[in-house]
């Protein structure tokens, strides 16, 4: 089945230690998104890639970066995680402006 895959599902990192979260998709969608979700709140869009074009939301901290080496893969890099960055991180994809399909998420714990 076509899907959005996130690895790992659970990630523990130390305060200030860089961490990378991974997302891959078999849907061949041209848009990929990264969201942050805290404690059952609505997901908050961090940034998205439209094809190779990176688009940052205005309020996304500089601590968060992303890479998309090809259509299928997208990475979220947190350069210096703080305790406030502990959250569920969701990857999603869409074909242009159609509905988004989400991965299962990576729960990040910062110790």
Partner 1 sequence: AQSVAQPEDQVNVAEGNPLTVKCTYSVSGNPYLFWYVQYPNRGLQFLLKYITGDNLVKGSYGFEAEFNKSQTSFHLKKPSALVSDSALYFCAVRDPSLTRGYNKLIFGAGTRLAVHP
Binding partner 1 (rule: CB under 8 A), the pick from 22, 27, 45, 73 is 45
Helices then strands, each counted (H, E), the chain: 0, 11
**102 is a contact residue toward partner 1 (CB under 8 A):** yes
**100 is a contact residue toward partner 1 (CB under 8 A):** yes
How many Cα atoms are found within 13 Å in the side-chain-facing hemisphere of 52? Answer: 2
Binding residues with partner 1: total (CB under 8 A): 28
**Is residue 78 within 8 Å of 60, Cβ to Cβ?**
no
Residue 83's SS3 state is helix
**65 is a contact residue toward partner 1 (CB under 8 A):** no
For residues 21-40, which are near partner 1 according to CB under 8 A?
31, 33, 40
**111 is a contact residue toward partner 1 (CB under 8 A):** no
């Amino acid at each position: 089945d076509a899907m959005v895959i996130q690895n790992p599902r659970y990630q523990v990192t130390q305060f200030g230690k860089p961490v990378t979260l991974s997302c891959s998709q078999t849907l061949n969608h041209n848009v990929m998104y990264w969201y942050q979700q805290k404690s059952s709140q609505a997901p908050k869009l961090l940034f998205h890639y439209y094809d190779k074009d990176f688009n940052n939301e205005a309020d996304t901290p500089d601590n968060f970066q992303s890479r998309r080496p090809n259509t299928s893969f997208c990475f979220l890099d947190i350069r210096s995680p703080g305790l406030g960055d502990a959250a569920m991180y969701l990857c999603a994809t869409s074909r242009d402006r159609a509905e988004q399909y989400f991965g299962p998420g990576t729960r990040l714990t910062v110790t």
